[in-house]
Amino acid sequence: MAHDARGADRSGGRPRRDVSRPGLARRSRTPAGAGRDEPAPMSDLVTMRLDGRVALVTGAGSPDGIGYATARRLADLGARVAVVSTTRRIHDRAEELGVTGFVADLTDESEVGALADAVADQLGDVEVLVNNAGLASRASPEVLRPVTQLSYEEWRGEIDRNLTTAFLCSRAFTGGMAERGWGRIVNLAATAGAVNALPTEAAYAAAKAGVVGLTRALAMETVADGVTVNAVAPGTIHTASSTLVELKQGHGTPVGRPGTPDEVAAAVAFLCSPAASYITGQMLVVDGGKSVGESQFR
């Protein structure tokens, strides 16, 4: 089933939420070590299952991408999954996965608000959010220019696509997660910016480094409310948008090949699960050991 958040009915149904003023998080004021809720049974903590929980995966329009692989894995774990992208091809992805699809421009505050209402109406309150939107694709390629040649519009475009989307979606759903006392947010960062960088990718690197900063700050804001916030930073991953140069770089990793979307999705799914209850504010690098091995000079 697919829906267009841009055309959502705003005249009836549940009241339109104001995503610029999210609900106050439910904070625990009990002194440390005194009278706080007892931990959940260990059997609940260690499970990977997400049965019945509503999960939203952004940027899942490509059948060969990380968002698609993540949505499939979360559905396999029992979640009720919604996927969203900026184009109507999400209809095909939703049908293939047996999930619910939405169309929305996640750089637009009003469209994110409409999306939040539409998902709540169709599936219920979002408990798992994967901010994958923003990764480069053939339809929306990364801007590769030296800083001195980078226009302000190109800079803003990269920041909005890679960082603003994560901010707007996180803001729209975090308050509800905190009020209910459970939630998982996983942001897709990248090794670029947070671990390393290459010439001509300043805007992309800055945006992805910003995703890590957002992740850590939000994790500290929600730590008392049962909400964890983490980031996954892929290295070279073989997707439909991979260039020959990128694939060659992947073969230069210690593992000896590029990664796959399914391998990234496995890391994302773990951080979305109840089993990851004691992990928050962290960045998990998935790059075949490239960031660990010493540089090779030839």
Tell me the backbone φ, ψ of residue 129, rounded to 5 degrees.
-125, 125
Burial 102-129 (b: 16+ CB within 10 A, else e): bbbbbbbbbbbbbbbbbbbeebeebbbb
List the structure tokens of 97.
């996965």
Catalytic residue chosen out of the listed positions 68, 152, 204, 278: 204
CA–CA separation, 278 and 270 (whole Å): 12
Tell me the backbone φ, ψ of residue 193, rounded to 5 degrees.
95, -55
Instruction: Name, in order, each residue with C-beta under 8 angstroms of 37's C-beta and a sequence gap of 6 or more.
Output: none
CA–CA separation, 101 and 94 (whole Å): 5
CA–CA separation, 108 and 86 (whole Å): 11
Would you give the end-to-end CA distance of the chain in angstroms?
52
User: For residues 134 and 59, is the Cβ–Cβ distance under 8 A?
Assistant: yes
The answer to whether residue 152 is catalytic is no
Q: Which residues are catalytic?
A: 204
